[in-house]
Amino acid sequence: MIQLIKILLYTVCFSFTILLGISQLQAAEVAKGNSATKANMNAQEAANTQATPLEKRLKVGEFVWTELATNDVEKARDFYTKTFGWKFIEDKIDGMDYVMIQTNGDSFGGIWAIPQDKQDQIKPHWLSFILVENVDQTLDKATKNGATVIKPATQVADKGRFAIFKDPTGAVTAIWQPQKRSQ
C-alpha cells in the first residue's frame, strides 16, 4: 500500500508540473516568431519559478489531494460519475492502473485498485492529504499530540515528502510537503 501511495504522490506532483507547460497555441505562435507571445511566455516562465496558479490557491493546513483505494474501480467510477459528474483520466504508473479524478478540468484526486492478494488486509477507503510546510515538524507535532506514525516522512523523487499517521481518534490521514522551487 505504501508503494501505491508513493506512486500517487508522484502523480500529484506530476499534475502540478503540467501547469508549468505552455499551450500548443503559444508554441505555434513562438514558432511563427510572434515576439509578443515570446515576451509573454518569458514573463510566465519567471512567474513559474515561484508558484503556479494551482499552488497559489493551495494553503498550508488544507486538504490538497484525496485518493480512493477500492476493490472495484469501474463500479466506483460509475457511482461518482452519476452522483457528482466527475470526469476521469486513465493512467498507468509503473505498471499500475491509476485513475485521476477531475472536476472543471482540475485533478483533485485519484482511484487505484487494491490488489487481489491484499483485499483481506486493505479495505476500500479514502485517504486525504493535508499540505504542510515541513513534514518532519508537523509529524513531530502530531505525535506529541497523540498521533501514531503509520509511515514516517518519505521522499518522493524530487517532488516532495509525505507521511501518514493515525490521529488519537483512530482516523488516518497523510501530510504532503511539495519540493521547494528555486527562486
pLDDT the model gives residue 180? 80
Low-confidence ranges of the chain (pLDDT < 70): 1-56, 93-95, 181-183
pLDDT the model gives residue 54? 55
The full set of domains in the chain, from first to last, is: 2-17+53-178 (3.10.180.10)
Cell for 138? 508537523
Beta bridge partners of 155: 161
Tell me which DSSP letter residue 159 carries.
T
Cell for 170? 483512530
pLDDT the model gives residue 58? 79
Of how many residues is the chain composed? 183
Which amino acid belongs to residue 171?
A: A
Which amino acid belongs to residue 135?
A: V
pLDDT the model gives residue 93? 64
Are 100 and 110 contacting, i.e. CB atoms less than 8 angstroms apart? yes
Model pTM score = 0.64
pLDDT the model gives residue 23? 33
pLDDT the model gives residue 116? 95
